Chain A
Amino acid sequence: MKFIIQTILIAVLCYITGQYLPFWSLTAVAFVVAVLFKLKPTASFMAGFLAVFALWSFLAYGIDEETSSRLTNRVAQVFMGIPNTTLILITGFIGGLIGGFGAASGALFIDLTQKKRVQKYYS
């Protein structure tokens, strides 16, 4: 449950801050949320990755749809002619990596400050 909430929260907060701040702001957002949720690092990474992957893929997909793929077609060619869907997924993947590592760092950070983990594997 915590995993899902963290994922959703990262996605929502990244969506909001992303409107105003450069992309690297999502590292900070994922970090802070992860600190609050105290998931295991791997789980935290997955949550951060999934959140931003979904968010960026979804946003990119929306723009692609609304603009009849005109620019996606051209830029996909610049990326060695990959299909548009792949470009959308790469967009998600790059965002996901940032979100994932941000969240993993947060989890490891809070882990450092706490002597002993009380939680079970997944809660």
Chain B
Amino acid sequence: MKLFKFLIVVCITVLLTYTFNNRLVVQGTPIPPLGKFLDPNHGFWQNAERDSFPYQSQVELTGLNEPVAVKYDKNGVPHIFANNNHDLYVAQGYIIAQHRLWQMEFQTHAAAGRVSEIIGENGVNFDRMQRRKGMLLGAKATYEAMLADEVTNESIEAYANGVNQYIQSLTYKDLPIEYKLLGYEPEEWTPLKSALILEYMINNLTGYDDDLENTNALRLFGKETFDFLFPEHLPGIDPVIPTDISASWPFQPMETEAPLTALPSDKIKTSLPKPDPDNGSNNWAVSGTKTASGNAILANDTHLGLNLPSLWIMLQLHAPDVNVYGFTFTGAAGITIGFNDSISWGFTNAPRDLRDWYKIKFKDDSANQYWHDDQWKNTEKHIETIYVRGKDPFYDTITFTHHGPVVYDKSFGDEDNQKNYALHWIGHQPSLVQKALLELNRSSNYKDYLEAIENWDAPPQNIVFASTNGDIALRVQGQFTAKWKEQGKFLMDGSEPKNEWQALIPKTQNPYQFNPERGFVSSANQHSVDSLYPYWVYDASYEYYRNRSINQLLTSMDSITVQDMMEMQSNSYSLLPQETLPLMLDSLSMEGLSKEEKDVVNTLKKWDYNYLVELKAPSYFQAWWHQLNASIWDEFYTSDFALDAPNDYTTTYIIKNYPQYKFIDVDSTGQKESLTYLINTSFKQSLTNLEIWKENNQMDYTWGNYKGTFIRHLADLGGSLAGFSRYNVQVNGVADAINSTKRNHGPSERFIVEMSSPPKAWGIYPGGQSGNPGSIWYDNMIDQWRDGEYIPLLFMAAEGDNQEKILFNQILKPTE
């Protein structure tokens, strides 16, 4: 009996200890290893930070040649002072890992299609998509290119060394809290991961296309209607680089030849998920002729998913041949957006369709051969092993043609499994932007800038420039492909060689402006050029509103100050209601409206088109506009095939100029609806929708609530880590305003620099320097970001300067 009792209790003890030491999954909900996690000596409690920097003041690192000093200012920005470039990047790797290890590893896992290893089978479809798209293929190509360049290779090797020494210094107690929560440990960092981080951004910025949706629309509506609904150019578009009429494009374009064959007549039920088409940015530079101080001013804010830990981290890097400050990605060597003693630079995405789909005809079910150029050619097969936490690995066979990976096939993609579509994407090509960035960090004038960005290939960007000697410039830079008219706008026949990319556009033929007469340069993801540019250029996600607001404001402004630029970045005015709301209100019949409805009309009439959080007018308008679109484009929303409705700009153009257009009739009703009828019914419907929203959300639909901006922790799935995220951030703006904020998307950093000598800069981002939710520097900048405030950036000339502003000193020493 005693023995029995003893055994029972010992069993319970062992079982309990074992259970508390391991992660459990109860009814699909993962539970962290409770004992390990709650242990005050090693568990999450050890991630709680006091109000001071938790970093070691003396660190020994192997591979350093000389000591490196790291100085932290009150914003938690590390200023790294090294005596040579090698040490600089070892230190950068170590310091970034010290701040953001979990994030940098998680993002590279996501890029490589490895999240199933962490979150289990819910990640398998995502991982398959990443691998089928060829993310790893592209990252490997980029890594090969990095290896081949001595300076780049040395930098990312040094960086990896720094990251790994940080990882090796950790015990369970020191691990970032996410590892403890999710119950796993960091692996070794490799230089390939620096390429994966870049691939992650290339996918964010070039991973959107509407080729398959266009194909469906073409089949369903015919070419004439398609061209009407999806025009490539419309009146009022304001391209980044307008054609200079006095000296139009002084070059001979590369020649391409279009095939005579017809397009495939496929209709696609579902297309794969794509990055947010609003991924983009604003940037501009004004010359000294337009500023109060006479110095050029440069501004840049990048619109991406809003996450914690933040996408960006701020850093100053100082070595004998470089002193640079700015924002960078966790995993990339050097500074991505920033300034040095002489120049500043920034980016916006330069959208252009560099992702094309080819229909593949296989000889038989084995998919061993495909038809191309009148013969059967062999495919290559890669078996991808996706490790799944708590389950057996998933094996996915990906077939490769010379176009690229066959993403859609019988086992993946469209519901209709007869489709075989191969992807050809700029993301598969090697990218040398890491090299370009390292050189930009060290550039001191316009000529250096041009040389540095000569290597800029993917993702193509509008690279804005300003210097202390007063130059401003903007170049649409990237490795673009010369295309025949409408090449790749639709699914193409993969057996016809002329459908392939035939020639690259020499970078010397990329559009640019240098010290233009108007005294400023700007870009906001709109059309790069007008139709006079000698090449056919196309993208499905051009921006139509922010860019015109920026140009209108900059044209009208004079004696510009940094303060003006700050206010401009927070400008929440949108041209969309300006261009549509008067027409909508004019068409509204006041007869039969209730008093409440009349009040709404009055509120809208008084609205100045600023999207401010406390107002209801923006919510009324957005709900109404959305409902009106849904009625006009009901053919798109109710289709059985993947379709994208025409964009807001085209919709506005059509309702203003073609109010009788056939699409305006609602298909599902027998009668013929007029635009006026739709405007009236959608008004009433939108108010009903708002009341339902209010009921469901238990709060009023002020714009701030209705938009509901939130900043999500990378591992917060549907509120599972709500405590690590920030919900309901009351921030002004809308996607189409310069202050381009949406639900989970918006300015992921704001940066302004005045090119005095030395330059003076201000910045902010919706997060904080530390990736640790237990740190005061985790989300400390969110409120200032929300309110359009900035922090002055401390740009130190030398290691011993500004000691009064330094809160903490850290020395990285070579191992003795």
Contact = CB atoms under 8 A, between A and B. Distances in A.
Contacts of B723: 73-78
Contacts of A56: 38-40
B588 interface: no
A23 B44 contact: no
Given A23-B36, A77-B722, A78-B721, A67 B16 contact: no
Given A71-B773, A78-B181, A111-B6, A98 B42 contact: no
A106 B172 CA distance: 28
Contacts of B43: 23
A94 B48 contact: no
Contacts of B45: 59-60, 63-64, 71, 91
Contact of A91 (B12, B17, B38, B49): B38
Interface string B10-47: 10110011001100000000000011101111111111
Interface residues of A, number: 39
A19 interface: yes
Nearest to A56: B40
A95 B775 CA distance: 25
Main secondary structure on A side of the interface with B = helix
B2 interface: yes
Contact of A112 (B2, B34, B773): B2
Given A74-B724, A76-B723, A105-B9, A23 B35 contact: yes
B50 interface: yes
Contacts, number: 122
Interface residues of B, number: 41
Contact of A60 (B20, B40, B49, B774): B40
Interface in A1-57: 18-19, 22-24, 27, 31, 41, 56
Nearest to A87: B38
Contacts of B42: 22-23
Interface in B129-145: none
A63 B40 contact: yes
A121 B44 CA distance: 41
Given A101-B12, A112-B3, A95 B49 contact: no
A60 B9 CA distance: 28
B6 A67 contact: no
Nearest to B773: A74
B789 to A, nearest CB: 22
B491 interface: no
A60 to B, nearest CB: 5
A98 B48 contact: no
A66 B40 CA distance: 13
B5 A41 contact: yes
B13 A94 contact: no
B50 A66 contact: yes
Interface in A85-106: 90-91, 94-95, 97-98, 101-102, 104-105
B776 interface: yes
A95 B774 contact: no
B44 A104 contact: no
A91 B35 CA distance: 8
Contact of B48 (A63, A78, A108): A63
A64 to B, nearest CB: 7
B41 A59 contact: yes
B20 A98 contact: yes
B51 interface: yes
A41 B9 contact: yes
B51 A23 contact: no
Contacts of B722: 77-78
Nearest to B776: A70
A23 B39 contact: yes
A112 B6 contact: yes
B654 to A, nearest CB: 47
Interface string B709-749: 00000000000111110000000000000000000000000
Contacts of A60: 38, 40, 45
A23 B19 CA distance: 12
Given A63-B48, A70-B48, A19 B724 contact: no
B230 to A, nearest CB: 45
Contacts of B13: 27, 31, 98, 101-102, 104-105
Contacts of A72: 48
Contacts of B36: 22-23
Contacts of B10: 105, 108-109
A104 B51 CA distance: 41
A102 B181 CA distance: 25
A35 B774 CA distance: 40
Contacts of A64: 45, 48
Contacts of B181: 78
A67 B41 contact: no
A119 interface: no
Contacts of B5: 41, 108
A71 B43 CA distance: 12
Contact of B172 (A22, A31, A41, A104): A22
Contacts of A19: 41
B809 to A, nearest CB: 23
Contacts of A91: 38, 40, 45
Interface in B755-785: 773-776
A68 interface: yes
A109 to B, nearest CB: 6
B50 A67 contact: yes
Contacts of B49: 67, 70-71
A95 B177 CA distance: 19
A98 B17 contact: yes
Contacts of B44: 71, 75
Contacts of A112: 2-3, 6
A118 to B, nearest CB: 16
A56 B37 CA distance: 12
A92 to B, nearest CB: 9
Interface centre among A19, A70, A77, A109, by most B CB within 10 Å?
A70
A67 B38 contact: no
Nearest to A107: B9
A28 B722 CA distance: 37
A97 B16 CA distance: 8
Interface string B153-182: 000000000000000000010000100010
A95 B12 CA distance: 14
A34 B35 CA distance: 21
Contacts of A71: 44-45, 47-49, 177, 773-774
Given A22-B172, A97-B16, A105-B9, A68 B51 contact: yes
A75 B48 CA distance: 10
A66 B52 CA distance: 11
B644 to A, nearest CB: 37
Nearest to B45: A63
A95 B17 contact: no
Interface in B474-506: none
A94 B42 CA distance: 14
A74 B45 CA distance: 11
B185 to A, nearest CB: 14
Contacts of A70: 48-49, 773-776
22 contacts: A22-B172, A23-B20, A23-B36, A23-B42, A24-B20, A24-B35, A27-B17, A63-B45, A66-B48, A70-B776, A71-B45, A71-B47, A71-B49, A71-B177, A74-B723, A74-B773, A74-B774, A91-B40, A95-B39, A98-B17, A111-B2, A112-B6
Which 5 pairs of residues, A with B, have the shortest CB-CB distance?
A: A77-B723, A71-B774, A59-B40, A74-B723, A23-B39
Given A41-B9, A60-B45, 7 more contacts: A23-B43, A24-B21, A27-B17, A67-B774, A78-B724, A95-B38, A101-B16
Interface of A: 18-19, 22-24, 27, 31, 41, 56, 59-60, 63-64, 66-68, 70-78, 90-91, 94-95, 97-98, 101-102, 104-105, 108-109, 111-112
